[in-house]
Amino acid sequence: MRKAEIHRQTRETRIHIALDLDGTGEYEISTGLGFLDHCLSQLAVHGLFNLQLQAQGDLEVDAHHTVEDVALALGQAFDQALGERRGLVRMGHAVVPMDEALAQVALDLSGRPYARVQARWHTPYLGTIPVTLIPHFFRSFSVAARCTLHARVRGEDDHHQAEALFKALARALEQATQIDPRRGNLIPSSKGSL
């Protein structure tokens, strides 16, 4: 069973996540941030992950704590659902267009957190989310998921750029989280551990 359930509570946020890596793309998401809900739904649908995510945060302050903590909790859910990472394909990549925008994501479920995100934004906000929180989401996710993640996007419409990034992340994760039957129960590393 490649599933996880995460409860995260701080003075700033309260988050519950249920994740099934071997799903069909069903989702129920409520973070209080409409654009974040929209992006996370893309992750579920295009990664074929079943995702239930409820978050309450101190949005009266701003969106930062909610976006960051959702990314951390979601990364933790992936890490938990992957277990020892035995038999995994481990690496994945995707190139995803959305109208004029083109996003690329390459990732490695290596156990080594690192993220590099390249984007040029044209507006300060997407809905109520500062655009600077989109790369921050990817970085926070990579830390908690224990993965190396490289992402870049180009385009003219920031909505399209962000959505294409999340779709590309979904497709890359869908590849990397697959079980390779040729590997059997082996950890996908020449050193024998991740």
Cα–Cα distance between 91 and 112 in angstroms, integer? 13
Distance between CA atoms of 12 and 75, rounded to whole angstroms? 18
High-pLDDT (> 90) share of the chain, %: 94
Residues 127-146 have pLDDT tens digits of 999 999 999 999 999 999 99
pLDDT tens per residue, range 22-80: 999 999 999 999 999 999 999 999 999 999 999 999 999 999 999 999 999 999 999 99
Alpha carbon distance 113, 160 (integer Å): 26
Q: How far is CA 166 from CA 10, 32, 53, 62, 184, in A?
A: 26, 18, 16, 22, 30
Q: What is the largest CA-CA distance in the chain?
A: 51
* Both tokens assigned to 146: 């224990």
Contacts of 3 (CB under 8 A, 6+ apart): 18, 19, 20, 21, 81
Superfamily of domain 3-176: Imidazole glycerol phosphate dehydratase; domain 1 (3.30.230.40)
Instruction: Name the residue ranges covered by the structural domains of the chain.
Output: 3-176
The residue with tokens 């989310």 is 129
Q: How confident is the model at residue 194 (pLDDT cuts 50, 70, 90)?
A: confident
Q: Flag whether pLDDT at 161 surpasses 90.
A: yes
CA–CA gap between residue 33 and residue 55 (Å, rounded): 9
